[in-house]
Amino acid sequence: MAFFFFFVLVCILILLAIASYVRFARRRKEKGQGHGGYGGLKLPPGSMGWPYLGETLQLYSQDPNIFFTSKQKRYGEIFKTHLLGCPCVMLASPEAARFVLVTQAHLFKPTYPRSKERMIGPSALFFHQGDYHLRLRKLVQGALGPDALRALVPEVEATVRSTLAAWDGRVMSTFHAMKRLSFDVGIVTIFGGGLPPRWKAELRKNYSIVEKGYNSFPNSLPGTLYYKAMQARRRLHGVLSDIMRERRERGEPGSDLLGCLMQSRADDGVAPLLTDEQIADNIIGVLFAAQDTTASVLTWIVKYLHDQPKLLEAVRQEQAAVREATDGGRRPLTWAHTRSMALTHRVILESLRMASIISFTFREAVADVEYKGFLIPKGWKVMPLFRNIHHNPDYFQDPHKFDPSRFQVAPRPNTFLPFGNGVHACPGNELAKLEMLVLIHHLVTGYRWEIVGSRDEVEYSPFPVPKHGLPVRLWRENRTVDRTPPCE
């Protein structure tokens, strides 16, 4: 029976490959690619791999960075390939990234697999362009702007203290600990500091199920990860609806992100309030955007500081001065304190460059586009390669060396894009930096840590993180620690 199902699956894949190839050949003929290209323009150089499969297997059978770097060395800063069933154009120069994300952004729409849109919610702001996107972006930026972040510092600090206290004396996966921290910071940002524990527990439980199914094969059969994730997604919507209903009954929408969304109207004052479905989609979208990426960077920061003892000591000295300004930690940090952490801020910027958690972003050409004499056909995916730009020695000398001093001078325009660029750049980047600054402050002034096991291997889940999430033993400063290996 198992062999029968395997045989059927192979036959289906072969038929899909044949159908995809026939359609691709027909489109080539219709566009006239065999007679001088599309309107006289040529496609970028590159290889497309097998029909339907393209070069997906090559990408996922090795370090993705090696795949993209080898392509760039062979073909240059613009090249074509075929990934995940889609023809793609890769762009690895600052000028190209600006062309796609800023100056000609109207020609390239954000694109995501339909299964992921369904899971987060089709009304989430990063799936849209135009007036609706601008309206939502303005709301989110307002709730995450400097004034709002000033008020959030005590809540972020309390969350950091709680995370480190729970870790004290134990070996834990840094990535998992940082995911919990980022989720808690996201909850405070969205709902303020007064969310009842029962709601927070329900949100955490169901979000965890959704997250596990996010990168799974979109199979809706009962029992699959995708099916369970979609069920948990519906429960998340129910919890958010209950929270909104409770706020309306009290007549207090709140001044946090949820409250801003509940009271939103367009600038002209005519457009209706957002629906509960639109609000829920955007809240879940913010949770997704706020967790894994920030947790990945925090994990790399812990590793980079551990591996650079002299740098770690310099950061400790800077943070010791901040701690002294808070009366030895007896008074809370303020926004002004976080603005005084110059070296620590450079460490964060260099960590963002080195790790390049977002290696690229997906766009789709909405029309045939010419770029530097090449054609980007309508419907093709377009991927600015941030990591390739960040690791290019033309823009960052000795790019594989961790050197925060390089950020004493601002990098050249469009060469440092850890949060993207243009209208779709991450609106929560200042919140993420605040979380990192507060975490580093309490980590280096109150704790010591050591990495347990291998420290140099990397895994992708889907963002790059040290293997096993970087297991670390953490203990309070001036405390004897038991280094007995943990039980299996």
CA–CA separation, 430 and 426 (whole Å): 9
Write the CA distances from 238 to 204, 233, 484, integer angstroms. Answer: 14, 9, 46
342-355 helix and 429-446 helix, angle to the nearest 10 degrees? 110
Query: Cα separation of 488 and 483, whole Å?
Result: 15
CA-CA distance, 463 to 357, in Å (whole number)? 6
Q: Would you give the end-to-end CA distance of the chain in angstroms?
A: 38
Q: What are the structure tokens assigned to 433, written together?
A: 């930096």
Rounded Cα distance between 243 and 472, Å, is 37
Q: Which two tokens stand for residue 149?
A: 């972040």
- Residue 423: burial class (beta carbons within 10 Å; 0-12, 13-18, 19+): middle
Contacts of 206 (CB under 8 A, 6+ apart): 232, 233, 235, 236, 239
The answer to whether 426 is annotated as binding is yes
Closest CA to 363 of 104, 74, 52: 104
- Whose CA is closest to 471, among 312, 309, 307, 303? 303
Query: Binding site residues, as ranges?
Result: 426
> What are the binding residues for heme?
426
